[in-house]
Amino acid sequence: MFGGPILGAVTARDGSKCWSCGAVAPDGDVCPECGRLQPFPAGSDHWAVLGLERRLGLDRSDLQKRFHRLNRRLHPDYFRLRSSEEQTISLEASAAVNTAYRALRDPVGRVEYLLELEGLGLGTAGQAKPPADLFEEILELQEARMELQTADADEAPALRARLEGARTELGSRRARAETELTACFPEWDAGDDATRQRVLGRMRDILATRAYLRTVLRDLDAALAVQTDGGATDQ
């Protein structure tokens, strides 16, 4: 917690030339001439770090293979006896690989990251949008949730049943939103600029809906958990 290695200290290298001996050396790999570890270029996106083109359709097991292979090459464990420059490069590069893998392995995270790169990010939590057709029902649900808190033994079961039904319904809506999202991937991957812009807008709306559903579901979970209590002693 007390400061640390100065990141980026040696990341600036001249094109694809080794920072140490000047030979041509690939990013995030060891120099074929002198064996020194090379950094990823500053500002590399997550796809570039994992050696991929910017696409949404990705194979999860291929991603994991890359994640493992890269860490096998540049993890700090293997550079402890090397120079401090290389240790810093290794730390930085390994962190970049780990962050990239985490962001890309999950389809939702992948789209969120892409939207951010395109300047269309949803921001933290904000911008969640209720699905138009469910807006009224969700308002009523909020009321039912409030009522459950003060409900007596007679009213509670009916309210609970209602909320549980809603939870199932909204849960499947969220799953549907995720299916719709991944259905957009081939179109974005194959599309021209105009198509991509259009698909991005659609994905952004789907994510906004999903974010909203997630918040409502979390509230429902909390409301139902307080009453059920089965697992409360576990926490």
**25, 66, 92, 204: which one binds other proteins (CB under 8 A):** 92
39 close to 13: Cβ distance less than 8 angstroms: yes
Task: State the nearest-atom distance from the C-beta of 58 to other proteins, in Å.
Answer: 17
- By CB under 8 A, is residue 5 in contact with other proteins? yes
CB 152 to other proteins: min, Å: 29
In the complex with other proteins, the residue whose CB is nearer, 99 or 195, is 99
DSSP 6-51: -TTTTT--STTB-TTT--B--TTSB-TTT-PBPPPPTT--HHHHTT
Q: Rounded distance, CA 71 to CA 51, Å? A: 13
Q: Report the DSSP beta bridge partners of residue 17.
A: 24
**15 vs 43, which CB is nearer to other proteins?**
43
- Residue 222 tokens read as 């909390």
Give yes or no for residue 112 binding other proteins (CB under 8 A).
Answer: no
| Under rule CB under 8 A, residue 6 binds other proteins | yes
Q: Which of residues 123-152 bind other proteins (CB under 8 A)?
A: 124
**Cβ-based neighbours of 27, under 8 Å, separated by 6 or more:** 16, 38, 39, 40, 41, 44, 48
Q: Cβ distance 98 to 40 under 8 Å? A: no
Give me 182's structure tokens: 């991944």
CB of 88 to other proteins, least distance (A): 7
Q: Contact with other proteins (CB under 8 A): which of 45, 48, 78, 189?
A: 78
Based on the shown chain and the rule CB under 8 A, indicate whether residue 71 belongs to the binding site for other proteins: yes
Query: How far apart (Å, rounded) are the C-alpha atoms in residues 92 and 112?
Result: 23
Nearest approach in angstroms of CB 137 to other proteins is: 26
Q: Which region, judged by CB under 8 A, interacts with other proteins, from 25-33, 69-77, 186-194, 208-216?
A: 69-77
Which of the stretches 98-106, 133-141, 149-157, 178-186 binds other proteins when contact is defined by CB under 8 A?
98-106
Q: Residue 24 forms beta bridges with which residues?
A: 17
Residues that bind other proteins (CB under 8 A): 1-9, 68, 71-72, 75-78, 80-84, 87-88, 91-92, 94-96, 98-99, 101-102, 124, 231, 233-235
